[in-house]
Chain A
Amino acid sequence: MSRMPLPTERLVQPKLVGYDPTRPKPWLERIAYALFFSALWVMVVLAYGVVPTLFRHFGWMKTPLGFAVFAAIEAVLAFLLAAVVALILIVVLRKYLGKVQERVGPMHYGPAGVFQTVFDALKLLGKEDFAPKRVDWLIFRLAPAIVFVSAFLLMVAIPVAPGWLIADLDVGLLYIVAVSTLGAYGVVLGGLSQGNKWGLLGAFRAGAQLVSYEVPLAIALLSVGVFAGSLRFTDIVEHQYGLWHVVPLFLSFIVYLVASIAELKATPFDLPEAESEIVAGYNTEYSGMSFAFFFLAEFVELFLLPGFMVLLFFGGWHGPLFGLDPQSFAAGLLQSLYFLIKVAVWVWIFLWIRATLPRFRDDQLMDLAWKGLLPLSLVGLLVAALLRMFLEVV
């Protein structure tokens, strides 16, 4: 019998389109990320530093017109910041997942694929925003807006450096609890209004999950408030000079960490949108920009929840100032940079968790919330109160 020739090697080499992963250009990628981070920093400095400082310095906010102008500018800036945060975090998530999974991630648009999200957003903008016939139209359209606005409103409360904030709320903690709960309404209503059974299941799961995680989350925040003696973020950060809250309030920190992952609907707790179980959950029927708003909100929260964690437990903007006056503008620049770096580290940890773990089941998640985290958060509150009492006596 005659032998066929052996295929010793591939006759046709696979064509590498755009980027050759065997010839990586890490420096290009790093420069791109450095530019990204700088863009984020510039946005933060503009929105939290320059504009509010100017308005306060010249006293323009005292007139109603000045206040309206301030609010309008800040709204635009905060929206741009939210967009920048989401654009950066989505591509960072995809590149990071690629790294974890030993592949290269997006590679085509921009150096090393860093503009992938920009093109994704453009694609979503151009898509038909389709709604099936049986949706409850008003609620269906309102839900993504509620979700996004709740994430967007949270940006107002963050101070990034002493005096660098949009609104110095004296009930900052209460505000974030209230506003972030609003987002749960958007998710539940979005799932319920679309007339799809998977969406309905997703809405049930989202409702159950978000409600049960808000309680321990709120108590963890409360214990920080009790320990610091104030609900104002600025006071809480000031209170951490000397010792970051993560040490005395370690239990509350753990509760906050777990609950914020659940709040984000990220991997171990991504039941409301578990694609292998309930297809896409609450956003099954959404397309185009409506879908993009859910997505955008998710990634803005991925920035904000670590942001609050840094403010509450990791000393906010604390860092070496090299003899600068903490109230000066130069110190503000430096301190907002410290804040952003701490947030970036926590975002990285969140992404790491997302890349590693499988998903919990719905009842296990509820068990964890009500039987695990809630008692733990109450103990954390007790510890905070006792420590506070002890410190006041001494």
Chain B
Amino acid sequence: MRGPTTIAPVPGRTDEMIINMGPQHPATHGVLKVVIGLDGERITRAVPHIGFLHRNHEKIEEARTYVQIISYTDRMDYVSGLQNELPFILAVEDLLGVEVPKRAQYIRVIFFELFRIASHLVWLGTGMLDLGAITPFLYTFRDREKILEITEKTAGARMLPNYFTFGGVRRDVHPDFFKDVAAFLDFFETRLPDYYALVLDSPVFQARAVGVGVLSKERAIARGASGPVIRASGVAYDVRKAEPYDAYDELEFEIPTRPEGDVYARFWVRFREMEESVKIIRQALEKVPKTGPYKGKVPPRVKPKPGARYRAVEIARGHLGTYVVSDGSEYPHRIKHRSPSFANLQLIPDLFVGARFADAIAILSSLDPVFGEVDR
């Protein structure tokens, strides 16, 4: 990644201050660097620089067997780790022609939505931290901890469980799993009203968020935005509805959208998504077969037939797709990840310019980028 490390000052213009926001800035959610031109508190120019967390995932994955790659996909969007495994697994399952048992599909859905809630909780906590409220951070991380404990009980790991596998899940769920999840949902539903009161209904938050960082529908589509960002701009695009995977076509849920496209809308959409996730998990808990195989028949050496496959899922940040090219060997010929935060991050110059500096922070936290996935 080579490029200009700074933006050049305009000759003769003395009222513009050029300032590096990041990569060690407290509110850049990791390692984003934005070179910003400031006129007082008003942003005149903004150039994002990425690549500080580049780990060469796609190349490394070419030299790993299919089973080994799953643990790499976990580490893209580490905040919603488990969700990232799915598009790769779905693509390879298609190439292998594996049938996934119903029980495995529902277990995947339950975990998938639990990790959506966990990821949105991290976003909410850190986003409010960016807006100056310290308390929601501690509340949301405490709630997320319960999800991680449920994951740990079943999968053995917390954030990056490496739990999904070709044909289903790696092992059967813990005997307490369904009870724990139901208990968590009951608990979480008592917490949500507090978050609404602390965040969405707070007049100070509304003053900071309403009408800030407005993203038009056309702009969002043109930039390839996805996830809550595009849904807050009035586009009802959700991979779970558009190309249903696992058991999503058997479950009823809404796609929350809002037409405004401002920071408040993006916060609102994520709040509503947490509610929808609760709804989905409740249905899945009812419908999941209580017995049965948790994994389909998969050959011990995974060697998909030659061909290519692209599969996408709706992770917490949007449309995550994985393109797998197989040459019939144990190693993939090529893997390409299409990550949502990378596309959403392109909106920075659009949304930052003209905003105030404090708004830029709110906009960035409403885009919710995770740099493990932007840089890969």
User: Are A204 and B40 in contact, CB atoms less than 8 angstroms apart?
Assistant: yes
Contact partner of B358 (CB less than 8 A), chosen from A1, A100, A200, A274, is A274
Interface residues of B in 319-354 (CB under 8 A from A): none
Q: Does A359 touch B at the CB level, under 8 Å?
A: yes
Which of B58-66, B127-135, B225-233, B280-288 touches A? B127-135
Chain B residues within 8 Å of A204, by CB: 40-41
CB of A7 within 8 A of CB of B135, answer no
Asked whether A101 lies within 8 Å of B134 as measured between CB atoms, the reply is yes
A3, A268, A275, A355: the one within 8 Å of B135 (CB) = A355
B242 within 8 A of A: no
| Residue B55 is within 8 A (CB to CB) of chain A in the complex | no
B223 at the binding interface (Cβ < 8 Å): no
Q: A355: which B residues are within 8 A, CB to CB?
A: 134-135
CB neighbours of A356 from chain B (8 A) = 133, 135, 198
For B206-247 the 0/1 string (1 means CB < 8 A from A) is: 011000000000000000000000000000000000000000
Do A357 and B41 touch (CB < 8 A)? Answer: no
- Report if A301 contacts B (CB, 8 A): no
Question: With an 8 A cutoff between CB atoms, is A4 at the interface?
Answer: yes
- Whole-angstrom distance between the Cβ of B11 and the nearest chain A Cβ: 20
Enumerate chain B residues within 8 angstroms of A271, measured Cβ to Cβ: 358
Whole-angstrom CA separation of A332 from B208 in the bound complex: 48
Residue on B nearest A100 in the bound complex, by CB: B135
A-facing residues in B1-31 (Cβ within 8 Å): 17, 19, 25-27
**A-side contacts of B19, CB under 8 Å:** 197-198, 201
Asked if residues B152 and A267 are in contact (CB atoms below 8 Å), the reply is no
Chain A, residue nearest B203 (CB): A357
Nearest A residue to B38 via CB reads: A201
| Pair A3/B171 contact, Cβ less than 8 Å | yes
B204 at interface, CB cutoff 8 A:
yes
Q: Is the CB of A103 within 8 A of B138?
A: yes
**Which B residues from 33 to 75 make CB contacts under 8 A with A?**
38, 40-41
A105→B25 CA distance, assembly (Å):
26
Contact yes or no, A359 B131, CB < 8 A:
yes
Inside 8 A of B38's CB, which chain A residues have their CB? 201
A362 within 8 A of B: yes
B202, A276: Cβ atoms closer than 8 Å: no
Complex interface bits, A343-382 against B, C-beta within 8 A gives 1, otherwise 0? 0000000000001111111111000000000000000000
* Bound-complex Cα distance A183 to B198 (A): 33
Q: Assess the A276–B26 pair: CB atoms within 8 A.
A: yes
Which chain B residues border A278 with CB–CB below 8 Å? 357
- Check if A102 is an interface residue, CB within 8 A of chain B: yes
Q: Measured between C-beta atoms, what is the minimum distance from A24 to chain B in Å? A: 17
Among residues of A, the one whose C-beta sits closest to the C-beta of B137 is A101
B179 contacts across to A, CB distance below 8 A: none
Q: Give the shortest distance, in Å, between B103 (CB) and chain A (any CB).
A: 16
How many residues on B have C-beta within 8 angstroms of the other chain's C-beta atoms?
38
What per-residue 1/0 map shows which CB atoms of B295-337 lie under 8 Å from chain A? 1000000000000000000000000000000000000000000
Q: Is B272 positioned at the interface, with any CB of A under 8 Å from its CB?
A: no
Contact A276 B208 (CB under 8 A): no
Check if A270 sits within 8 Å of B358, measured CB to CB.
no
Contacts of B128 in A (CB 8 A): 358
Contact of B130 among A8, A102, A276, A357 (CB under 8 A): A276
Tell yes or no: B279 within 8 A of A by CB.
Answer: no
Instruction: Decide if B156 is an interface residue (CB 8 Å cutoff).
Output: yes
CB closest residue in chain A, given B208: A361
Which chain A residues (1-59) contact chain B, with CB distance < 8 Å? Answer: 1, 3-4, 6-8
A279: CB under 8 A from chain B? yes
Cβ of B139 < 8 Å from any Cβ of A? Answer: yes
Nearest-neighbour CB distance to chain A for B9, whole angstroms, equals: 13
Contact in complex: B207, A357 (CB < 8 Å): no
**Complex Cα distance A1/B183, Å?**
31
Least CB distance, A319 to chain B, in whole angstroms: 33
Interface residues in A114-152 (C-beta closer than 8 Å to B):
none
Report B-chain residues with C-beta under 8 Å of the C-beta of A274: 132, 358
Chain B residue, CB-CB nearest to A6? B174
- Give the residues in chain A near B198, CB-CB below 8 Å: 356
Q: Residue A101 contacts which of B139, B154, B174 (CB distance < 8 angstroms)?
A: B139
Known: A7-B153, A100-B135, A362-B356. A276 touches B129 (CB 8 A): yes
Identity of the chain A residue whose Cβ is nearest the Cβ of B153 in the assembled complex: A7
Give the CA-CA distance A315 to B258 in the complex, in Å.
51
Q: Which of A4, A8, A101, A268 has the most CB of B within 10 A?
A: A101
- Selected from A200, A275, A364, the residue in CB contact (under 8 A) with B207 is A364
Output the least CB separation between A217 and chain B (Å): 20
Bound complex: CA A274 to CA B41 (Å) = 14
Docked CA distance A101–B132 (Å): 15
Question: Is A277's CB within 8 Å of the partner chain B?
Answer: yes
Query: What are the residues of chain B within 8 A of A3 when measuring CB–CB?
Result: 171-172
Interface CB pairs A-B, < 8 A, 10: A103-B138, A200-B17, A201-B19, A204-B40, A271-B358, A274-B132, A276-B361, A359-B131, A361-B207, A361-B208
Give the 5 A-B CB pairs with smallest separation, nearest first.
Answer: A359-B132, A101-B138, A358-B133, A276-B27, A358-B131
Beyond A270-B132, A358-B133, 20 additional pairs, beta carbon < 8 A: A3-B171, A4-B156, A6-B171, A7-B153, A100-B135, A103-B138, A198-B19, A204-B40, A276-B26, A276-B130, A276-B361, A277-B27, A279-B26, A356-B135, A356-B198, A357-B204, A358-B202, A358-B204, A359-B208, A361-B207
